[in-house]
Amino acid sequence: KIHHSVVGLRSCISEGAIIEDSLLMGADYYETEADKKLLGEKGGIPIGIGKNCHIRRAIIDKNARIGDNVKIINVDNVQEAARETDGYFIKSGIVTVIKDALLPSGTVI
C-alpha cells in the first residue's frame, strides 16, 4: 500500500510494504535477479524496501537497502537525532535514511 508518497525511479518495494507520506528517491541502477539471489545466499539485503515494512513520514535516499519487517515510523516521536553511523538521521521529526544505507531486517526507528 502506497499513500501520499513519491516513489522515485528504479524503486523496489516488496510485497506487504506500507509507505505513507514519504519520499523514496529510488536507485541509480537495478540489481538483476542473479544479483539478488547471490545477495540472499550471502545474507545480504537487496536495494529497496523489504517485505512487510512500514514507512511513515520518511525520506529514503538512493540505493538504500532496507530489510524485511523494518518499521520507520518514528515510534518515540523524536524531533532531532544524528545517527548517521546507523544509516539515518531525524530532522523536524522526519526520518531520513541516508544514501547507500543498510537497515537490517527487524529494525525499528
**DSSP run (H or E) holding 37:** helix 33-41
**Which residue ranges make up each domain of the chain?**
2-103
Tens digit of pLDDT at every position of the chain (109 positions): 999 999 999 999 999 999 999 999 999 999 999 998 898 889 899 999 999 999 999 999 999 999 999 999 999 999 999 999 999 999 999 999 999 999 999 999 9
- Phi/psi at 64 (nearest 5 deg)? -70, 145
User: Quick one: CATH architecture of 2-103?
Assistant: 3 Solenoid (2.160)
> For residues 56 and 72, what is the distance between their CA atoms, to the nearest angstrom?
6
3-class DSSP state for residue 85? helix
